Amino acid sequence: MSQKIPIALKIRQLVTIFLVGIIVIWFLSPVVLITISAFASPGDYYQIEKVIPTHFTLNQFKSLFFGLEAWKAILTSIKVAGLTMLLSFILGLPAGYALSRYIFPGKNFLKLLCLATKMLPLMVLAVPLLIIFMKMGVSDTIWGTSLAHTAMVLPIIILIFSSILSGVSVDYEEAAMIFGLSRLHAFFRITIPLALPGLAASAIFAFVLSWNEVFVATILTLTNRTLPAHILKTAMASPDYLKFTAGFIMAAPAMVFIFFVRKHLVTMWGISLK
């Protein structure tokens, strides 16, 4: 009986490794395909018998950046995503702190309301949002798109900030206040430094959400288009290899984000490892 246990464990380990490998291949295959196709020469790309291209070039990046003027859209996306990250951090931090530190009537309802905002389809909200922004005079502007993206990401950022700050013990703040610091000073000198890695990861998460958003940016803008909206307008009517190049440019920031903040992703979603 004792000899069967190691065999069963080995079989379980092999099955686990096999399933994990299948999942990894499933998720990485599109990324690898986009990356290879983005750099492949058009001649190799259109040869069906070539599964993996052997000749690579940067000409499609040049065509996308300068021929289709994607560089302007990239600058707009950086500005919009940067403003979205800044606004969501400024507004989400005090809201997340209040949810994590204070007990008040309706607290759970507010958390549920934050989640409920993600239940509404963007197609339902886009047209009323466009009408409101046109009356405010901020349609087709960087600020208008940033405000729309902030409204989209702020509820989830508030919940993430609340979870991160809940992982910082309130005892540190109370000890700081015993030694003469006010609650505000204790928050900036004690709580923020302890939670900073997770907060920074969450802010970059807001940046990536804004960077990848396409529907609202397409509805609200005509000239100041972000990169996804610009690609939807121009690159989708271009050859296939330009579509893969555009997809690689859009996916690269998200992949870089995951690589640099991978250690803080667990904390960002409110699960603390002791």
Q: What does pLDDT average to over the chain?
A: 82
DSSP state of 189: I
* DSSP letters for 3-68: THHHHHHHHHHHHHHHHHHHHHHHHHHHHHHHHHHHHB-HHHHT-TT-SS-S-B-SHHHHIIIIIS
**In terms of domains, do 129 and 208 share one?**
yes
Angle formed by the axes of helices 70-101 and 107-116, nearest 10°:
160
**In terms of domains, do 85 and 199 share one?**
yes
The answer to the question of residue 56 being in a domain is no
pLDDT tens string 90-145: 999 998 888 888 888 888 888 888 888 777 777 777 778 878 888 888 888 888 88
Phi-psi region of 46 (alpha: psi -120 to 50; beta: other; left: phi over 0): alpha
**In terms of domains, do 151 and 37 share one?**
no
Q: What is the pTM of this model?
A: 0.79
Quickly count helices (H) and strands (E) in the chain.
14, 0
**In terms of domains, do 41 and 83 share one?**
no
The answer to the question of residue 107 being in a domain is yes
Which has the closest alpha carbon to 52: 70, 29, 18, 68?
29
* CA–CA gap between residue 27 and residue 191 (Å, rounded): 36
**In terms of domains, do 178 and 109 share one?**
yes
Which has the closest alpha carbon to 250: 111, 113, 73, 102?
73
pLDDT confidence bin for 268, thresholds 50/70/90 = low
Instruction: Give the per-residue pLDDT at 86.
Output: 93
DSSP state of 271: -
**In terms of domains, do 126 and 37 share one?**
no
The answer to the question of residue 53 being in a domain is no
**In terms of domains, do 30 and 102 share one?**
no
Residues in Cβ contact with 69 at an 8 Å cutoff, skipping those fewer than 6 apart: 230
**In terms of domains, do 38 and 155 share one?**
no
CA 22 to chain centre: 25
Instruction: Give the per-residue pLDDT at 218.
Output: 84
Strand, helix or coil for residue 235:
helix
**In terms of domains, do 183 and 238 share one?**
yes
pLDDT confidence bin for 273, thresholds 50/70/90 = very low
CATH number at residue 74: 1.10.3720.10
The answer to the question of residue 51 being in a domain is no
* CA–CA gap between residue 161 and residue 109 (Å, rounded): 17
Question: How many distinct structural domains can be found in the chain?
Answer: 2
Angle formed by the axes of helices 192-212 and 70-101, nearest 10°:
140
Question: Stretch 78-92: mean pLDDT, rounded?
Answer: 92
Residues in Cβ contact with 214 at an 8 Å cutoff, skipping those fewer than 6 apart: 226, 228, 229, 232
**In terms of domains, do 134 and 168 share one?**
yes
Instruction: Give the per-residue pLDDT at 174.
Output: 84
Angle formed by the axes of helices 142-166 and 192-212, nearest 10°:
140
The answer to the question of residue 52 being in a domain is no
**In terms of domains, do 188 and 251 share one?**
yes
Which has the closest alpha carbon to 107: 116, 98, 118?
98
Is it the case that residue 43 has pLDDT exceeding 80?
no
* CA–CA gap between residue 151 and residue 146 (Å, rounded): 9
**Domain ranges, residue 15:** 4-45
**In terms of domains, do 244 and 125 share one?**
yes
pLDDT tens string 235-251: 667 777 778 888 888 88
The answer to the question of residue 50 being in a domain is no
Angle, CA 203 vertex, CA 228 and CA 112 arms, to 5° = 95
Q: Are 235 and 242 in contact (CB under 8 A)?
A: yes
